Amino acid sequence: MSDILKNQPLTIALVGNPNTGKSTLFNALTGLKQKVGNYPGVTVERKTGSVEIDGTRHKIIDLPGTYSLNHKKVDERIAYQTLIGEYEYEETPDLAVLVLDSTNLDRNMYLATQVMDLEIPMIVLLNMSDLAEERGIEVDTNTIQKRLGVPVLPIVAKDKGDIQNVRQAIADHDLEAPKPLSWKPQQPLAEAITLITDEWLHPHTDLPDRAHPIEALRLISNNQVSDDFKNHPRREVAEEIIAKAQSQLEDAGENPTAVEVMARYKFIEQCTSNGNGNHRQEESETLSDKIDAVVTHKFLGPVILVAILLLMFQAIFSWAEPFMNLIDLFFVQAGNTVAETLPPGILNDLLVEGIIAGLGGVVIFLPQIMFLFFFISILEGTGYMARAAFVMDGFMTRIGLHGRSVVPLMSGFACAVPGIMAARTIESWSDRLITIMVLPFMACSARLPVYALMISAFVPNENAFGFISMQGLTFFGLYIFGIVMAILAAWVMKMFFTDGESTPFMMELPSYKMPKWSAVFYNMFERGWIFVKEAGKIIMAISIVLWFLASYPKVEVPDSITNSTTTTEASFNAQESASSYKLKHSYAGQIGQFIEPVIKPLGFDWKIGIGLITSFAAREVMVGTLNTIYSVGESGGNTTTLKQKLINDKDPDTGEAVFSTLSAISLMVFFALAMQCMSTLAIVRRETNSWKWPAIMFIYMTALAYICSLVVYQGGQALGW
Amino acid sequence: MSILLSEQKQNGKKTIADVTGPKAARLLEMGLLPGTTVEVIRSAPLGFPIEIKVRGYLLTLRKEEAECIEIE
Ligand SMILES: Nc1nc2c(ncn2[C@@H]2O[C@H](COP(=O)(O)OP(=O)(O)O)[C@@H](O)[C@H]2O)c(=O)[nH]1
Ligand SMILES: [Mg+2]
């Protein structure tokens, strides 16, 4: 580095194709000094960190992985705009560090030649050189360096010594930018670039000069130019100039779409010293090929995938449970301790029932989230995830989803929250969004207590056809019902949101690798932390509101309930009745009674109404609320007594039973479909980076639930059930 | 005579004759150029996507993408 620039803090961008080792390098350079968040307004994750080299602290940005700078997708656009210094939410990098996969240099160098055109100082790292060597792929670093005219370094991102070399290369860099168009476009293309630059980009846009060649090339190769200028005031001018450039090329016998790419690849093939781009197709079968022959096999592939999914499911479903119980116990204990130490009063209630309970409601998700991301990190790290998507894509596209939707949807059976977080492995935005939007239809474990209560109370414990348990069949039916609704919803949504430009599937299958354990654990904790930090606040806030609604206004419990008798048994019951009385007169109780006319046609009375309000905290809260309303004692507070009370409950006016099998089914249908989970909404807000999608989700799911329950209950009554 | 990559049934090596259609730009960028050799390795359970090897790496293509590629 020249003396003036020495010790100047730099902003360094890591650029490269997906899966080339950018994040591995980023972690190795920054250690734990990193921040992760979202870019504003979009769903692309932003990772920044810092590294100290020779006493100077440089900032590092881990840009989203991209195959090219022809920005069709948001993450490509962010990478491009950041590199030309036009992205308002990111600093302009002083140095680009290109991370290339040595086992796949041709395609990786394509991006490198594009970045070189941006006149940004750069270093090229040929990563995965261990794998290249293993496979007998020869990489001629000197030739590449000579041709590109920038520092080129073969590395293994996992190797400490190599990381030191990278730090040295950053410190030694003279910050000279490479010359643009060093891949030497032929005469007709060069002329077309000049034409567009001089007649359009220069006079009519405010793009920085160094972005002109890339932008001109993008316009030349683009066959849907008009999309770019829909709202541009000089739209006609642009279209005319571009058409002129394109027809000049055609006259010279070139295909405007292909000419740039072909010229770049020709240059690349000279760098990698081969004539036709084909020399690297190894003839011998690699271990990767052998594994693939099994796991992507037409029949074995799906079987293996299902086995893996079941294992994952088992983990998030039952291995997480002891941890969840511990967390539960801890927060209950903490609540009790605080309740006893502080003087009784509003502050005490707020702390114990609002804040501590709310905090517990956030932390309780961590075991499932972390188990799921433990598995996902392994599946991604080994390269299996892409194979799973390949195997499932045929099935999933038929129902409007994506091969990568399988793992998130499957996780949704345990809990929608980790499932929605897992949807980030789906690259295409519209596919990811649809997966997120239908995922809460999967019958999550929080619905089980409600289903169990209703089924045991109102579905006869008999066998159909002599051997199929009716209760079991109802359970199974509810699962299938959720899946079918998810499929239908996905199919309908597919008609509404297509990306417009339909991003291609074209998925790379990376070669198998051993996962890096530190990365697996890091990812696990990172996802857990993101949940606590970003969804946690929302969940806390809503918990406090719900606590307030269920506890206020404080009412005087009439003497008839508090002091009726003095025997221990009776006073115990009276105690319970008091809390039932309080709940009924709270705001939540009033709302429950207020909405009764609306839910009456579904077969629900005001008690269920209160439960629908309180269970917004989490679906299983319904059971606790009914326990309170029906004054089921804590000691006998198992569902058997609640079950009896539900069965025996009579309408005081008509004397008819409040619940029937039909209204129970209607309630279960409602629970299967309604969006009654604030944690899900909070995580959707985080993952889609806007309140729009959680709002739409809440409205459409709840409306659908209402309609379906209405049809079930009214239809059932009309049929005389 | 050339046929579409989506229509040929046999696995093995082919040479690309042309890349056209709506997805052409991205396919070209991924290194699938006229004259490049691709090897069809297998197809997924319901026929698509297909898995190909090109320039030493593995790529999967859905039907719409394979339809943009003509082979010799
Ligand atoms: N053998 C080997 N594996 C690597 C190397 N660099 C990264 N990996 C692995 O490649 C995979 C993808 O790396 P990652 O950093 O996530 O790539 P990114 O998508 O570019 O951020 C991970 O499993 C890494 O452990 C390397 O130099 N050699
Ligand atoms: Mg990464």
The CATH number of residue A228's host domain is: 1.10.287
Instruction: Mark yes or no for CB contact A280/B55 under 8 Å.
Output: yes
pLDDT surpasses 50 at A596: yes
Q: Is A347 exposed, middle or buried (0-12, 13-18, 19+ CB in 10 A)?
A: exposed
pLDDT band at A121 (very low <50, low <70, confident <90, very high): very high
Starting at the edge strand found earlier in the chain, the sheet holding A122-127 runs A34-38, A45-53, A56-62, A11-15, A95-101, A122-127, A152-154
Instruction: Mark yes or no for CB contact B26/A262 under 8 Å.
Output: no
Averaged pLDDT, A570-590: 71
Q: Which residues contact A91 (CB under 8 A, 6 or more apart)?
A: A11, A59, A61
Kindly report, residue by residue over A186-227, the tens digit of the pLDDT: 888 999 999 999 988 888 888 888 999 999 999 888 766 555
- Whether A167 and A261 map to the same domain: the answer is no
pLDDT surpasses 90 at A349: no
- What per-residue confidence (pLDDT) applies to A637? 46
Comparing CB atoms, the residue among B31, B35, B45 nearest residue A391 is: B45
- What per-residue confidence (pLDDT) applies to A569? 44
- What per-residue confidence (pLDDT) applies to A365? 87
In angstroms, what separates the C-alpha of A281 from chain B's closest C-alpha? 5
pLDDT surpasses 90 at A153: yes
Averaged pLDDT, A162-175: 93
- What per-residue confidence (pLDDT) applies to A225? 57
Tally of domains in chain A: 3
- What per-residue confidence (pLDDT) applies to A22? 94
- What per-residue confidence (pLDDT) applies to A83? 92
Averaged pLDDT, A454-461: 88
- Whether A224 and A83 map to the same domain: the answer is no
Preferred mutation among B32, B46, B54, B59 to probe A, highest tally of A CBs within 10 A: B46
More confident residue, A623 or A262: A262
Averaged pLDDT, A405-423: 91
N-to-C CA span, chain B: 6
pLDDT band at A657 (very low <50, low <70, confident <90, very high): confident
The partner residues of A380 in beta bridges, in order of sequence, read none
Task: Give the Cα separation of A454 and A603 in Å (integer).
Answer: 14
- What per-residue confidence (pLDDT) applies to A509? 92
Q: Return left, alpha or beta for A612; rule: phi > 0 is left, psi -120 to 50 is alpha, else beta.
A: alpha
- Range among A67-81, A233-247, A443-457, A685-699 with highest mean pLDDT value: A685-699
CB of A175 closer than 8 Å to CB of A95: yes
With respect to residue A689, please indicate whether it lies within any of the assigned structural domains: yes
Averaged pLDDT, A396-410: 89
- What per-residue confidence (pLDDT) applies to A682? 94
More confident residue, B30 or A656: B30
CB of A259 closer than 8 Å to CB of A189: yes
- Whether A150 and A194 map to the same domain: the answer is no
What kind and span of H or E run contains A603? none
Kindly report, residue by residue over A523-579, the tens digit of the pLDDT: 899 889 988 988 888 888 888 888 888 888 887 777 666 554 444 444 444 455 677
- Whether A118 and A218 map to the same domain: the answer is no
pLDDT band at A632 (very low <50, low <70, confident <90, very high): low
pLDDT surpasses 70 at A177: yes
Q: pTM of the entire structure?
A: 0.84
pLDDT band at A115 (very low <50, low <70, confident <90, very high): very high
- What per-residue confidence (pLDDT) applies to A194? 92
Averaged pLDDT, A103-128: 94
What residues flank ligand 1, with Cβ below 6 Å? A 16, 18-24, 65, 127-128, 130-131, 156-158, 381, 513, 515-516
DSSP class of A176: P
For residue B46, give the chain A residue with the closest CA. A394
With respect to residue A558, please indicate whether it lies within any of the assigned structural domains: yes
A 396-425 → B contacts, CB under 8 A: 397-398, 403
What kind and span of H or E run contains A226? none
B 1-60 → A contacts, CB under 8 A: 19, 22-31, 33-37, 39, 41-49, 51, 53, 55-60
Instruction: Mark yes or no for CB contact B59/A398 under 8 Å.
Output: no
A409 Cα: distance to centroid of ligand 1 (angstroms):
27
Averaged pLDDT, A460-467: 79
Q: Which residues contact B18 (CB under 8 A, 6 or more apart)?
A: B2, B34, B69, B70
- What per-residue confidence (pLDDT) applies to A31? 86
In angstroms, what separates the C-alpha of A685 from chain B's closest C-alpha? 31
Which among A477, A395, A481, A405 is positioned nearest to A442, based on CA atoms? A481
Task: Give the Cα separation of A23 and A47 in Å (integer).
Answer: 9
More confident residue, A392 or A229: A392
Task: Give the Cα separation of A454 and A460 in Å (integer).
Answer: 11
Residue type, A623: V
- Whether A124 and A241 map to the same domain: the answer is no
- Whether A131 and A212 map to the same domain: the answer is no
Percent of chain A with pLDDT over 70: 91
Question: Taking the mean position of all CA atoms in its chain, how far away is CA B59?
Answer: 9
The mean pLDDT value of chain A amounts to 86
Residue type, A564: S
Chain A environment of B68 (Cβ under 8 Å): none
pLDDT band at A635 (very low <50, low <70, confident <90, very high): very low
pLDDT band at A15 (very low <50, low <70, confident <90, very high): very high
Instruction: Mark yes or no for CB contact B29/A68 under 8 Å.
Output: yes
Q: Is A575 exposed, middle or buried (0-12, 13-18, 19+ CB in 10 A)?
A: middle
Ordered alpha helix ranges (H), A119-173: 129-134, 141-148, 160-172
Instruction: Mark yes or no for CB contact B44/A391 under 8 Å.
Output: yes
pLDDT surpasses 60 at A280: no
Percent of chain A with pLDDT over 90: 41
With respect to residue A409, please indicate whether it lies within any of the assigned structural domains: no
CATH of domain B3-71: 2.30.30.90
- Whether A201 and A124 map to the same domain: the answer is no
Q: Strands of A462-616 (E only): list them.
A: 463-464, 468-469, 507-509
- What per-residue confidence (pLDDT) applies to A113? 95
Q: Return left, alpha or beta for B56; rule: phi > 0 is left, psi -120 to 50 is alpha, else beta.
A: left
Domain limits, chain B: 3-71
- Whether A193 and A168 map to the same domain: the answer is no
- Whether A162 and A213 map to the same domain: the answer is no
- What per-residue confidence (pLDDT) applies to A193? 92
In angstroms, what separates the C-alpha of B56 from chain A's closest C-alpha? 5
A290 Cα: distance to centroid of ligand 1 (angstroms):
21
Which among A436, A473, A434, A474 is positioned nearest to A454, based on CA atoms? A474
Task: Give the Cα separation of A479 and A662 in Å (integer).
Answer: 18
- What per-residue confidence (pLDDT) applies to A551? 84
Q: Is A103 on the interface with B (CB under 8 A)?
A: yes
pLDDT surpasses 90 at A623: no
Task: Name the domain boundary from A172, A201, A217.
Answer: A172
Q: Which of A19, A66, A98, A101 to mutate to test the pocket of ligand 1 (most atoms within 8 A of CB)?
A: A19
- What per-residue confidence (pLDDT) applies to A642? 80
- Whether A197 and A168 map to the same domain: the answer is no
For residue A324, the tally of other CB atoms under 10 A from its CB is 16
- Whether A208 and A107 map to the same domain: the answer is no
Instruction: Mark yes or no for CB contact A258/B35 under 8 Å.
Output: no
CB of A131 closer than 8 Å to CB of A157: no
Task: Give the Cα separation of A682 and A440 in Å (integer).
Answer: 13
Atom of ligand 1 nearest to the CA of A24: 15
For residue B18, give the chain A residue with the closest CA. A258
A65 Cα: distance to centroid of ligand 2 (angstroms):
7
pLDDT surpasses 50 at A272: yes
Please give the structure tokens belonging to residue A67: 């195959």
Preferred mutation among A267, A506, A507 to probe B, highest tally of B CBs within 10 A: A506
Q: Is A688 on the interface with B (CB under 8 A)?
A: no
CB pairs under 8 A between A and B: 133
Name the residue range of residue A619's domain: 533-628+644-718
- Range among A29-33, A291-295, A464-468 with highest mean pLDDT value: A291-295
- Whether A549 and A591 map to the same domain: the answer is yes
With respect to residue A695, please indicate whether it lies within any of the assigned structural domains: yes
Range with the poorest average pLDDT among A106-110, A438-442, B18-22, B50-54: B18-22
